[in-house]
Amino acid sequence: MSSTRVLVADAHSIDGTPDIVLSFRGRLNLRVIRGGMPSVGRNHGAALADTPHVLFLDADIELAHPSVLRRALELAQRKNLHCVTTNILCRDGSWIDKLLYASNDLFQYLSRWHRPFATGMFMLFDTEKFRELGGFNQQVAFAEDYLLSQQVQRHRFGIVRGGVYTTNRRFQKMGHFRVASLFLRTAMNYWNSNYFLRDHKYWQT
């Protein structure tokens, strides 16, 4: 909708992102803001939010169905949820790419029984709760989205079907084994704040 405010955090991209974004100003209420590491850019955008909910999307995702956002918002409002996420799909990846993302989705569903987690690819947050939790921790070097969403109570967390498409670029750069092992280590260290403060070389690949 043209009335929906869209904030794009740009971290000195070299692919012309600001110009591409601003070319849509005639149809959307757009603004490019200062970015940085994911936590920084997301927090800058959330600080400007004046709506009851704020949606965080990664730059390289695409909604798998036009109704995903509407249904996520309806679910959040109907059940008074603090955070709503969705499934991750890899449309053009190999079978192992799709298997690993499907495994992530399965773990995400299972996490609702213990400590729910969402990825920054799609996180619809109650704005007031987001600010109460302090937003994304800008001191952590990895999995800031995982760390924040785990603070949400189980009965205030939801997953809407439909999904978002992402690419397999992380697998191509890091390798399947390294990405999978990093995910498992992260899940096993949910209680260890020092783990998230260490540099896992995630953003250097």
**86-135, pLDDT tens digit by residue?**
999 998 889 999 999 999 999 999 998 988 999 999 999 999 999 999 99
Q: Cα separation of 197 and 142, whole Å?
A: 7
The predicted structure's pLDDT at residue 159: 97
3 confidence band (pLDDT: 50, 70, 90): confident
Rounded distance, CA 136 to CA 169, Å?
24
Owner of token pair 């995903």: 68
Residue with tokens 């591409």: 20
How would you classify the pairing of strands 53-57 and 122-126? Answer: antiparallel
pLDDT digits (tens, 9 = 90+) for 23-63: 988 888 899 998 888 899 999 999 999 999 999 999 889 99
Contact present, 48 and 33 (Cβ < 8 Å): yes
pTM value is 0.91
- Mention every residue, 6+ apart, whose C-beta is less than 8 A from residue 115: 150, 154, 190
Instruction: Indicate the CATH number for domain 52-204.
Output: 3.90.550.10
pLDDT single digits (tens) 159-205: 999 999 999 988 998 999 999 999 899 888 888 888 888 887 776 65
CB contact burial 2-33 (16+ within 10 A = b; e otherwise): eeeebbbbeeeeeeebeeebeeeeeeeebebe
